[in-house]
Amino acid sequence: MDEVADLLGRIWRTDSAGMLGALSRRLGDLDRAEEALSDALTEALDRWPVEGVPERPTGWLVTTGWRKALDRLRRDAVGREKVAQLAAQRPPEPGVDDRLVMLFACCHPSLAEPARVALTLYAASGLSTVEIAAAFLVPPPTMAQRLTRAKRQLRDRGVRFEVPPPEEYVDRLPAVLAVIYLVFNEGYLSSGRSAQRRELAREGVELARQLAEWLPREPEAAGLAALLELHHARAEARFDSWGRIVLLDQQDRRLWDRAAIGRAAWRLRSAVRQGRTGPYQLQAGIAALHALAPSYAATNWTEVRALYDRLSALDSSPVVLLNRAVATRFAVGPAPALAEVEALGGQLAGYHLWHATHADLLATLDRPTEALAAAQRALELATNPAERELMSRRVGELRRR
DSSP for 150-174, please give it: HHHHHHHTT---SPPPGGGHHHHHH
Boundary residue ending a domain (61, 94, 127): 94
The set of residues, in sequence order, having a beta carbon less than 8 Å from that of 105 and lying 6+ positions away, is: 21, 24, 30, 154, 159, 160, 161, 162, 164
Three-state DSSP state, 333: coil
105 band by pLDDT with thresholds 50, 70 and 90: confident
CB 129 within 8 A of CB 140: yes
Query: What global pTM score does this model have?
Result: 0.77
User: Would 220 be classed as within a structural domain?
Assistant: no
Residue 190 Cα to chain centre, angstroms: 10
Tell me the residue range of the domain where 71 lies. 2-94
Residue 31 in domain? yes
Residue 197, pLDDT score:
62
Which uninterrupted H or E stretch holds 255? none
pLDDT at 8: 80
User: Which of 94, 117, 135 lies at the terminal end of a domain, its last residue?
Assistant: 94
Burial call 280-315: b when 16+ CB within 10 Å, e when fewer: bbbbbbbbbbbbeeeeeeebbbeebbbbbeebbeee
Rounded to an integer, the average pLDDT of 168-185 is 82
- What mean pLDDT is predicted for residues 329-344? 97
Task: Tell me the C-alpha to C-alpha distance, in Å, between residue 121 and each of 117, 136, 200, 229, 387.
Answer: 6, 11, 12, 20, 23
Of 94, 121, 142, which marks where a domain is finished?
Answer: 94
Residue with the larger pLDDT of the pair 401 and 234: 234
Query: Lowest-pLDDT range, 98-107, 194-203, 386-395?
Result: 194-203
Note the pLDDT of residue 196: 43
Domain tally for the chain? Answer: 2
Domain presence at residue 358:
yes
pLDDT, mean of residues 31-50: 85
Residue 168 CB neighbours (<10 A) = 14
Q: Which of 344, 40, 146 is nearest to 357 (CA)?
A: 344
Q: Is residue 347 part of a domain?
A: yes
Q: If you average pLDDT over residues 329-337, what whole number do you get?
A: 96
| Cα–Cα distance, 305 to 328 (Å, whole number) | 6
Q: Is the pLDDT of residue 77 over 70?
A: no
C-alpha–C-alpha distance, residues 276 and 79, integer Å: 47
* Residue 257 reports pLDDT greater than 80: yes
User: Within a domain: residue 395?
Assistant: yes
Q: For residue 188, is pLDDT > 60?
A: yes
Examine residue 252 and state whether it is found in any structural domain, yes or no.
no
Residue 348 domain flag: yes
pLDDT at 193 over 60: no
Q: Is residue 390 part of a domain?
A: yes
